[in-house]
């Protein structure tokens, strides 16, 4: 150890040369010697020692900090494995229960790529016919009984259920053809039926006004469709739907032109045929039983007359055709409770008048 003061001439700018061990004065507590800064390239040890030089080249932490010793240790995260794709298993069928009825979507028009349920059923080899069922059949029976009772009470009593039948017929035909809403066509067909009814009342229930009103309404429907700005195919489709709806609603006025006894026989026969047709029996057997029930109902209502039985069978044949039409191509619950209720009675209207005049 030398007696020269600290920072004396070692030729290293007042610093101890590298490699010289640090000597602690006797009697002082031991202190850890402070490491000397390393020289930068091109920089010697001939400059005076700056205690703040090392702070110029260190990174300063400017953000907030916290005491790391007070924080709980973070456990290593377990590896995450993706869940396997769960494929839902089909619900088991209980034995003997019927399958749920299919849902029916909106109808398709030109330009829509979706096919109807009836078209899909036809493509898959299944029947596109879905029958209305017992509830519409019961409504048809109630409406038929109202027609029979109204005919027994008088002309104006018959007019009330007849107007209901004509309105439901016009609405049901448009919905059966997938055209909804079609307020203009429904209103036009229903208005034609009201005009025909009024003309029959004025003309003492002359059936000729039915044909005259139908001819005028076909011409009116044609004029209205020619003024439409729709595509030609849609205009033709709308024209046919409007004409047929008006024709069916006007033809139902045959009940108003027929005799009271003929209305009673025909309406009761249709009611019996529709209820029997809705029973869970095979189609062929159901048709035969329905015709037999209609003949029996006509025979009973017509005072045990064979002509009344024949009239009942004839009215039931037309009713079954209307029932079949309401079951075909695009059935839905709304169609079943409109066209399915009204078409059997509306289709039988002209036959009730004709057979009533022929058979007496």
Give the confidence band of 123 by pLDDT, cuts at 50, 70, 90.
confident
Assign 299 to helix, strand or coil.
helix
- Largest Cα–Cα distance of the chain, in whole Å? 156
Mean local confidence (pLDDT), 286-309: 92
HSE-up of residue 283 (Cα within 13 Å, Cβ side): 8
Token pair recorded at residue 8: 């004396």
Please state, in angstroms and rounded to a whole number, the distance separating the CA atoms of residues 200 and 195. Answer: 9
Say what the pLDDT of residue 237 is: 82
Report how far apart, in Å, the C-alpha atoms of 193 and of each of 48, 121, 162 are: 119, 36, 10
Q: In 3D, which of 344, 310, 314 has the Cα closest to residue 327? A: 344
Mean local confidence (pLDDT), 44-70: 51
Report how far apart, in Å, the C-alpha atoms of 167 and of each of 130, 206, 250, 318, 327 are: 23, 21, 10, 19, 19
Quickly list DSSP for 253-289.
THHHHS-HHHHHHHHHHHHHHHHHHTSSS-HHHHHHH
Say what the pLDDT of residue 7 is: 44
Provide the percentage of residues in the chain whose pLDDT is more than 70: 64
pLDDT for 113 beyond 80 = no
User: What would the pLDDT profile of 61-83 be if each residue is shown by its tens digit?
Assistant: 555 554 545 555 555 555 555 55
Report how far apart, in Å, the C-alpha atoms of 145 and of each of 139, 152, 268, 270 are: 10, 11, 6, 9
């Amino acid at each position: 150890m030398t007696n020269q003061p600290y920072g004396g001439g070692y030729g290293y700018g007042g610093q101890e040369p590298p490699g010289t061990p640090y000597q602690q004065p006797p009697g002082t507590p031991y202190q850890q010697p402070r490491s000397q800064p390393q020289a930068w390239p091109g920089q010697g040890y001939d400059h005076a020692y700056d205690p703040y030089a090392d702070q110029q080249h260190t990174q300063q932490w400017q953000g907030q900090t916290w005491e790391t010793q007070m924080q709980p240790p973070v456990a290593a995260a377990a590896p995450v494995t993706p869940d396997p794709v769960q494929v839902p298993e089909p619900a088991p069928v209980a034995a003997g229960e019927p399958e749920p009825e299919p849902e029916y979507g909106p109808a398709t028009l030109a330009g829509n790529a979706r096919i109807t349920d009836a078209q899909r059923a036809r493509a898959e080899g299944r029947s596109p016919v879905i029958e209305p069922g017992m509830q519409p059949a019961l409504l048809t029976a109630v409406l038929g009984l109202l027609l029979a009772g109204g005919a027994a009470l008088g002309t104006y009593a018959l007019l009330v259920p007849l107007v209901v039948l004509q309105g439901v017929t016009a609405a049901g035909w448009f919905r059966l053809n997938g055209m909804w809403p079609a307020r203009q066509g429904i209103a036009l067909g229903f208005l034609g039926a009201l005009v025909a009814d009024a003309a029959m009342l004025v003309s003492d229930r002359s059936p000729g006004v039915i044909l005259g009103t139908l001819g005028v309404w076909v011409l009116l429907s044609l004029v209205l469709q020619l003024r439409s700005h729709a595509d030609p195919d849609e205009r033709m489709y709308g024209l046919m739907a409007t004409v047929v709806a008006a024709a069916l609603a006007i033809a139902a006025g045959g009940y108003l032109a027929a005799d009271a006894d003929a209305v009673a026989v025909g309406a009761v026969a249709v009611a019996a045929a529709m209820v029997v047709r809705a029973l869970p029996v095979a189609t062929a057997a159901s048709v035969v039983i329905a015709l037999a029930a209609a003949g029996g109902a006509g025979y009973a209502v017509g005072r045990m007359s064979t002509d009344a039985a024949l009239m009942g069978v004839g009215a039931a044949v037309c009713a079954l055709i209307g029932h079949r039409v309401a079951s075909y191509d695009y059935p839905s619950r709304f169609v079943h409770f409109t066209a399915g209720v009204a078409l059997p009675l509306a289709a039988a209207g002209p036959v009730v008048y004709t057979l009533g005049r022929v058979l007496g």
